[in-house]
Structure 1
Amino acid sequence: MNKKINILHLEDDPFDSELIESEMRTGGIDFDYTQVDTKVSFIDAIKNEKFDLILADYKLPTFNGSEALKLAQEICPDIPFIIISGTLGDDIAVEMVKNGATDYVLKQRLLRLVPVIERAILESEEKLKRKNAENLIRQSLRDKEILLKEIHHRVKNNLQIISSIIKLQASYSTDPHTKDICKDLQTRVMAMALIHQKLYQTESLSKIDFKDYLQKLVFQLVNVYRLSEQQIFVNLNLENLELDVDTAVPCGMLISEIVSNSLKHAFPNGNNGEISIKVDKQESYYMLNVKDNGIGLPNDKDLTSAHSLGMQLIKSLTAQLAGTLNIKTNHGTEYNIKFFDSAYQKRM
């Protein structure tokens, strides 16, 4: 041990104090030394001075090693604490170590003192290095979390700008088909923007509250297609789900695409209707059910083989979730999709 250490010694016997100090110097320890012998002076020392090591007698007239250890654990828990006593039984020694003492040395066996001190200082230095490294890692993680939140915020803002540009462009067009295409683009961009908004507003950067996300998404979809809630009622039957980002993005876009199709096509001529959305979590997968009670589709039309952009997106997003798609068209249109989260997909 090359560096000089600062030692606090709780001891009321001057002879024992000199004996212990001599043993340390003989053993080659370079140190500064402060001796105290009362509770008041002990507390004052550990509060007002930085020590590398505390040595403490177990039994003093008005104070003892157990009380000193408890105070040291409260005020300076990282400083090694060694009991030195001539009256310490094995049971008490073991109890002291359990309570936080680094080690103990009997006054009758002071030859152990220097090796015990060297080991205690070495362990303390290693512990401090680990603590500093952990603090650096935690700070680095905090910095990265702040950076990621800022990135999600900026991505959301940029996507909202794109959505506004699309909306503005649609307003200049007189072609109904072009307006419909712009609305479709707007809803797809909006579904992605909402994910990024949720991510920078929550503590977790890896999972989002999917129930809250869907509630906001459906409200925005109804607003985009300018349908009143009295005209089209959207029933959300959702568990409290947290989905990871890699699952939430395609799942959100999938639901946006299906609901948009229902809002556009299922209720012509201002018909009233209902759209229901249900997501259930099973043991290893999720079941998504989206259905409407609209006009449905002709029986001879095979939706799964349709080549429209919307259906191509629905099939592509289902595949991205490692899911299976089943569509029914009795009394409206119903989509049943079984899918897996990204963590499960990696194990498949």
Structure 2
Amino acid sequence: MRTTTSIVVAFITLFILASLTIPGYNQAFVLFALAIVPAYLFFFLGTRIGIKWNAVVILLLILTTLNAYTAWITPVFTVELLIQTTLAYIALSYFYYMLEKERSRYEEELSVALKNKETLLKEVHHRAKNNLQIIMGLLESQAFRTKGAACKKILISQRYRLQAMSLIHESLSYSASYEKVDMSQYLKGIANNIQKYTHHTIVLDLEPCVLGMSDAMNLGLFLNEAISNASEHAYAKEVKGRIEVSLKYREEQCILRIKDFGRGFDANRSSHSLGLVLMEDISNFFNEGNMMIDFEEGTEIVFSFTQKKNT
């Protein structure tokens, strides 16, 4: 691409210079075109190559001026005008060179600042992930030592929630973007983590969808609660059940669906459970968030919210 640009710019430059010695061209247009040549040279070719090309142009302008003086080839412009044109071109070249040099300096400073920002964000996500993993380890250790089933259940539930938060920091620390999250990979990580601790089969159907960090973390917590509830309450202990998870994007709507084929649950009794209350609270954080629960043939939770495609 750079070679093609160089060839095109060089051809246009030589054509304009040739117009100085060929009768029949609009003289005013030729002088105007010559004035913007150094801008094109520095912008498209950079300062280093631009300096070389401008030196060639200045040399050709000097030769054109000498030709007008000696009249070896019938000149189109007068000697005085060509001298003024050459001096003006040198002044413009210096002006454009300083502009391009300053632009390159600012671009380099912005590049360094962006790189430092990315390094800092990567370190922040890495430290956040490590701190959450330490807390998870403490909860898991305490759950192992706790004899009460109810207390152990609470500790394990909290560990799952922290794991969902930890996964997003891990995803962002290795991502090229430190603000956007690939939800298909993130939700897959959450489901796979729960799969390690349940004998039920979790089936995933996740379409590509990108969310900001805040929405991604909330949706991850929502999924964590939904799968945890399904794996714990949908089936009898001796039954190996199936839990389906899908993420679809339809007409600026993200739709997350969690479906089991178990015995369902008492809506009146379960409406005050911590998991369901947490999911209802999370749904309020989203733009036009809406959660629906269907108890026909098991339990199906459908959560939808508005999400622009490029957001």
* Mapped partners of 1:208, 1:315: distance in 2: 22
- Asked if structure 2 preserves the Cα contact closer than 8 Å seen for 1:284 and 1:344, the reply is no
Query: What TM-score do you get using the length of structure 1 for normalisation?
Result: 0.67
Residue of structure 1 equivalent to 2:64: 86
Which stretch of the first structure deviates more once superposed, 157-166 or 75-84?
75-84
Q: 1:342 to 1:164 in 2, by over 3 A?
A: farther
Q: Any unmatched runs of 5+ in structure 2?
A: 1-16, 19-40, 66-76
* Mapped partners of 1:73, 1:173: distance in 2: 70
* Mapped partners of 2:237, 2:45: distance in 1: 76
Q: Any unmatched runs of 5+ in structure 1?
A: 1-56, 59-68, 88-104
* Mapped partners of 1:158, 1:141: distance in 2: 26
* Mapped partners of 1:313, 1:142: distance in 2: 38
- Asked if structure 2 preserves the Cα contact closer than 8 Å seen for 1:321 and 1:341, the reply is no
Amino acid of the structure 2 residue aligned with 1:255: L
Q: 1:318 to 1:263 in 2, by over 3 A?
A: same
> What pairs up with 1:104-183 in 2 under 5 angstroms?
109-183=82-156
Residue of structure 2 equivalent to 1:286: 254
Secondary structure at the residue paired with 2:215? helix
- Asked if structure 2 preserves the Cα contact closer than 8 Å seen for 1:194 and 1:213, the reply is yes
Residue of structure 2 equivalent to 1:331: 297
Secondary structure at the residue paired with 1:268? coil
Secondary structure at the residue paired with 1:174? coil
- Pair 1:185 & 2:169 matched: no
- Pair 1:238 & 2:206 matched: yes
Q: 1:156 to 1:234 in 2, by over 3 A?
A: same
Q: 1:119 to 1:74 in 2, by over 3 A?
A: closer
- Asked if structure 2 preserves the Cα contact closer than 8 Å seen for 1:246 and 1:342, the reply is no
Deviation of 1:343 (Å)? 8.8
Amino acid of the structure 2 residue aligned with 1:338: S
How big is the alpha-carbon RMSD for the aligned residues of Structure 1 and Structure 2?
2.7
Amino acid of the structure 1 residue aligned with 2:184: K
Amino acid of the structure 1 residue aligned with 2:299: T
Deviation of 1:312 (Å)? 1.6
Query: What TM-score do you get using the length of structure 2 for normalisation?
Result: 0.74
- Asked if structure 2 preserves the Cα contact closer than 8 Å seen for 1:321 and 1:342, the reply is no
Structure with the largest fraction of helix: 2
* Mapped partners of 2:251, 2:161: distance in 1: 30
- Asked if structure 2 preserves the Cα contact closer than 8 Å seen for 1:198 and 1:213, the reply is yes
* Mapped partners of 2:112, 2:280: distance in 1: 42
* Mapped partners of 2:243, 2:176: distance in 1: 32
Deviation of 1:111 (Å)? 1.7
Residue of structure 2 equivalent to 1:17: none
Residue of structure 2 equivalent to 1:257: 225
Secondary structure at the residue paired with 1:76? helix
* Mapped partners of 2:269, 2:237: distance in 1: 25
Q: 1:86 to 1:114 in 2, by over 3 A?
A: closer
Moved over 6 A (4+): 342-345
Q: 1:179 to 1:302 in 2, by over 3 A?
A: closer
Deviation of 1:159 (Å)? 0.4
Q: 1:257 to 1:131 in 2, by over 3 A?
A: same
Q: 1:147 to 1:234 in 2, by over 3 A?
A: same
Alignment partner for residue 239 of structure 2, among 243, 246, 271? 271
Structure with the largest fraction of strand: 1
Q: 1:190 to 1:114 in 2, by over 3 A?
A: same
- Pair 1:312 & 2:277 matched: yes
